[in-house]
Amino acid sequence: MISPHDPETVYVGGNVVFKSNNRGKSWEVISPDLTTNDKSKQRSSGGTIYQDNTAAEFHCTILYLAESPIQKGVIWAGTDDGNIQVTLDGGKSWKNMGLKNSEHIGMIEIDPNNSNNIYVAAYGPLWKEGGERGLYFSKNGGKDWELILKTDEHTGVNEVHLDPRNSSTIYATTHQRRRHVYTYVGGGLGSKIYKSTDSGKSWKELKSGLPNSIKGRIGMDISPANPDYLYACLLYTSDAADDMQCV
């Protein structure tokens, strides 16, 4: 992650947060271990490595970092084992902010107009159904969380994006997936793209122009040059194939 306050400052997550003030020439550790450090999870998942099977699954790893665009040094970290941590002082101290049953944090977005408004894409457990899945919102800096986009027991939210012109316009992608010992199910009817224009009070599924078939993981971004353009990269199944294709 590049700091929104200084392009020379870069952050990288492992099980700790690394910071560079000179674009990566040198690094310092600014956090303790922010994961659960559960030794039973720090092993290979096994199986074949393929296109939709390369995410961290067992490694107690920080998956996402976000710095407040308003307050320098306010940094959020989300892990693959159910930890959301925040520092308000540039890494001197960290606090766990809940949602432990989400297990995998897909993305964290901070409202550019109000740093107390936090959106968390909760992926949910990979090896079982249930848990804390969906898009969660906090209006008080993570003290309390509200589920504003609910998914089913096998589907989580993997990405969330705010329109840079109007933060009440939110885009979210959902991904249905499940790991079994014998296989990985990387898609399903739950994989969709949603849009809200009222800060998550109501949602509309976006379908126009997308393959009319079962979808896998969807990656998404908003054009910084023209936010009316929304880009999505997704895996889907064709009528003639059982495997996933990329578009």
Residue-wise pLDDT for 90-119, tens only, equals: 999 999 999 999 989 999 999 999 999 999
The candidate with the shortest Cα–Cα distance to 237, out of 187, 176, 202, is 187
Residue for token pair 């064709």: 238
Residue for token pair 């040094």: 73
- Per-residue pLDDT tens over the stretch 163-210: 999 999 999 999 999 988 888 888 999 999 999 999 999 999 999 989
Per-residue burial over 165-193, b = 16 or more CB atoms within 10 Å of its CB, e = otherwise = eebebbbbbbbbbbbeeeebebbbebbbb
- Per-residue pLDDT tens over the stretch 122-140: 999 988 999 999 999 999 9
Alpha-carbon span 247 to 233, nearest angstrom: 6
Alpha-carbon span 138 to 130, nearest angstrom: 21
The structure tokens listed for 44 are 């290979």
